[in-house]
Amino acid sequence: MAHIVLDKASVELAVYNSRGRALKHELFRRTVGGGVEDRRDSSVQVVKALREVSFEARDGDRIGLIGGNGAGKTTLLRVLSRVYPPTGGRAEIEGRVSSLIDLSMGMDTDATGYENIIMRGVMLGLHRKQAEAITQDVEEFSELGEFLDLPIRTYSSGMMLRLAFAVSTAVQPDILILDEVIGVGDAAFAERAELRMHNMISNANIVFLASHSDETIKRFCNRTLWMKAGTLMADGTPEEVLAAYHADGHHAAGE
Ligand SMILES: Nc1ncnc2c1ncn2[C@@H]1O[C@H](COP(=O)(O)OP(=O)(O)OP(=O)(O)O)[C@@H](O)[C@H]1O
């Protein structure tokens, strides 16, 4: 069973010494959706990336997250992944969470592929023995062969992604967090990756998927949240929320 309650959850991020040029600052303030607060008395700015977001999620929810650039989607996914604790309000998350955003987070470039499998497995909440048990699956799925004995700094970016994806998807989570559909490597690997992801989506109790594509949201989700400037604007079926989002002047990707 999985259960999530966000009660007026807010996230404020401090940005230091970023007010270099007034014009640049003004430009960014106007173009991005996040609320950048100007504190003239110091070199610290505070970005209100999430503003009092409240909702509840239960088993069976397949939740699409929509919103423009800088709306707070990734920040919300990081709260749900327990990467960011809310700076205000409350976030209660029950269940094993796997996040496919920040895929290579926690990877050590000086450690070998095998060592990284164990470390990442432990980060995903496994005991060491359980982490060792996923090694064979990762070996088979990543097809990295003897490269797994080498430090991962010697890998190409495609090889890194194969390893990170194989490890992150080796454990079935209760709550699965995805950011767009990730392009992973060459066509043959991408096909296997998609199949593995679909299985994970079907077996997870709760899924969150941030996407700029209406088609993806309609295909995978039975509920949609719309974020704008850190605020939750709407929570409902994909059809109603996408309609409200487009009525607000946003165009579907590709239009
Ligand atoms: N590490 C950080 N430090 C400071 N500000 C940040 C950080 N991460 C995000 N922000 C700010 O928080 C706000 C929300 O960003 P977020 O990445 O959550 O948006 P998003 O909806 O995922 O956007 P996109 O669709 O472009 O990925 C933005 O104003 C962004 O500039």
Ligand 1 centroid from CA 230, angstroms: 9
- Check pLDDT > 70 for residue 51: yes
Residue 107 lies in a domain: no
Which of 73, 208, 232 to mutate to test ligand 1, by most ligand atoms within 8 A of the CB atom? Answer: 73
What CATH number did the domain enclosing 221 receive?
3.40.50.300
Which stretch of DSSP H or E encloses residue 76? helix 73-80
**φ, ψ at 19 (rounded to 5°):** -85, 55
Phi/psi for 32 (5° steps) reads -95, 155
Tell me: pLDDT of 26 over 70.
no
* Domain-embedded: residue 21: yes
Under 8 Å between Cβ of 47 and 36: yes
Quick: pLDDT tens for 158-216.
899 899 889 989 989 999 998 875 655 677 888 888 889 889 999 999 999 999 889 98
Whether residue 52 is contained in a domain is answered as yes
CB burial of 238-253 (b: ≥16 within 10 Å; e: otherwise) equals beebbebbeeeebeee
* Whether 127 and 182 share a structural domain: yes
Probe residue for ligand 1, chosen from 29, 75, 78 as the CB with the greatest number of ligand atoms within 8 Å: 75
Residue nearest to atom 19 of ligand 1 (CA): 70
Percent residues over pLDDT 70 in the chain? 86
pLDDT of residue 31: 59
**Same domain for 222 and 150:** no
19 pLDDT more than 70: no
In a domain, residue 104? The reply is: no
User: Does residue 252 fall inside a structural domain?
Assistant: no
Nearest atom in ligand 1 to the alpha carbon of residue 14 is 4
Q: Does residue 218 register a pLDDT over 90?
A: yes
Residue 36 falls inside a structural domain: yes
Number of C-beta neighbours around residue 124 at 10 A: 20
pLDDT of residue 254: 45
Confidence of residue 42 (pLDDT cuts 50, 70, 90): low
Q: Are strands 97-99 and 175-179 parallel, antiparallel or unpaired?
A: parallel
- Site to probe by mutation for ligand 1, drawn from 18, 30, 44, 47 as the one with most ligand atoms within 8 Å of Cβ, is 47
Q: What is the C-alpha separation between 213 and 194, in angstroms, rounded?
A: 17
Exposed/middle/buried for residue 177 (C-beta within 10 Å: 0-12, 13-18, 19+)? buried
**Considering the domain boundaries, does residue 102 fall inside one?**
no
User: Residues 213, 194: one domain?
Assistant: no
Find the 49 Cα to ligand 1 centroid distance in Å: 6
Question: Would you say the pTM of this structure is higher than 0.95?
Answer: no
Arithmetic mean of pLDDT, 1-25: 80
Supply the pLDDT for residue 226.
98
Which residue's CA lies nearest to atom 10 of ligand 1?
Answer: 49
Six token digits for residue 101: 């955003």
Same domain, 176 and 118: yes
Residue 222 structural domain:
3-95+209-247
Is 187 found in the same domain as 143? yes
Q: What is the mean pLDDT of the chain?
A: 87
Question: Quick one: 66 and 52 in the same domain?
Answer: yes
Give 61-111 pLDDT, tens digit per residue: 999 999 999 999 999 999 999 889 999 999 999 999 988 887 777 789 999
**What is the Å distance from ligand 1's center to 214 Cα?**
21
Closest C-alpha residue for ligand 1 atom 18 = 72
Same domain, 12 and 73: yes
Q: How much is the pLDDT for 255?
A: 45
Ligand 1 atom closest to residue 65's alpha carbon, by position in its atom list: 21
The alpha carbon of 34 and the centre of ligand 1 are apart by a number of angstroms equal to 7
CB count, 10 Å around CB of 112?
16
Res. 38: pLDDT tops 60: no
Q: Is the pLDDT of residue 27 over 80?
A: no
Q: What is the pLDDT of residue 123?
A: 81
Dihedral Cα 11, 81, 28, 89, nearest 10 deg: -10
Region 38-57: mean pLDDT is 83
> What is the per-residue pLDDT for 30?
56
Residues 80 and 32 in one domain: yes
Q: Does 232 fall in a domain?
A: yes
Distance 254 CA to ligand 1 centre (A): 22
**Which pLDDT score, from 0 to 100, does residue 239 have?**
97
- The interface predicted TM-score (ipTM) is 0.92
The pLDDT assigned to 208 comes to: 96
Residues within 6 Å of ligand 1 by CB: 13, 15, 32, 34, 47, 49, 67, 69-75
- What b/e readout covers 38-68, taking b as 16+ CB neighbours within 10 angstroms? eeeeeeebebbbbbbbebebeeebbbbbbbb
In the chain, how many domains are there?
2
